[in-house]
Structure 1
Amino acid sequence: MTFSICVREPYTDDEGDEQTRFGVAVTTRLPAVGTLCPFASEHGAVATQSLVNVELGRKGIEYLEDGLAVEDALEALLNADEEAEQRQLHGVGAEGAFTYSGEECRGWYGHTEGENYTVAGNLLTGESVVEATAETYEDGWETARDAENPDPLVKRLVDALGAGHAEGGDKREDLEVQSAAVVVASTEERERDHYYNDLRVDATRSPVKDLRETYRLAVEGEEAALEKYAEELDE
Structure 2
Amino acid sequence: MTFSICVHEEYEDDDGTEQHRFGVAVTTRLAGVGTLCPFASENGAVATQSLVNVELGEKGIEYIDDGLAVEDALQSLLNADDGAENRQLHGVDREGSFVFSGEECKPWFGHHDGGSASSASGASSDVSDGGAYTVAGNLLTGEAVIDAVADSYDNSDREEPLAKRLIDALEAGHAEGGDKREDLPVQSAALLVETTEERAIDPAYENLRVDATETPLEDLKATYETAVRGHEDAMERYEEAYEDDDL
Confirm or deny a common fold (TM above 0.5): yes
Q: Under a length normalisation based on structure 1, what TM-score does the superposition of the two structures give?
A: 0.95
Distance 1:83 1:41 in 2: 26
Q: Deviations over 1:1-41 (max 9, x none)?
A: 10000000000111111111000000000001000000000
Question: Amino acid of the residue matched to residue 98 of structure 1?
Answer: F
Q: Deviations over 1:82-108 (max 9, x none)?
A: 000000000001111000000000000
Distance 1:187 1:170 in 2: 33
| Corresponding position of 1:46 | 46
Aligned-residue offset at 1:119? 0.2
Distance 1:123 1:170 in 2: 6
Distance 1:151 1:72 in 2: 32
Question: Amino acid of the residue matched to residue 238 of structure 2?
Answer: Y
Distance 2:239 2:25 in 1: 31
Does 2:13 correspond to 1:13? yes
| Corresponding position of 2:126 | none
Q: How many residues align?
A: 228
Structure 2 vs 1, CA of residues 88 and 234 (structure 1 numbering), >3 Å: closer, same or farther? closer
Secondary structure in 2 aligned to 1:6? strand
| Corresponding position of 2:107 | 107
Question: Amino acid of the residue matched to residue 224 of structure 2?
Answer: Y
Distance 1:22 1:228 in 2: 28
Q: Under a length normalisation based on structure 2, what TM-score does the superposition of the two structures give?
A: 0.90
Does 2:94 correspond to 1:94? yes
Gaps of 5+ in 1: 145-149
Contact preservation (8 Å) 2:23, 2:162: yes
Match of 1:179 among 172, 188, 196: 188
Contact preservation (8 Å) 2:26, 2:190: yes
| Corresponding position of 2:142 | 126
Match of 2:170 among 153, 157, 161: 161
Between Structure 1 and Structure 2, the one with more helix by share is: 1
Does 2:190 correspond to 1:220? no
Gaps of 5+ in 2: 116-131
Report percent identity of matched pairs: 68
| Corresponding position of 1:80 | 80
| Corresponding position of 2:151 | 135
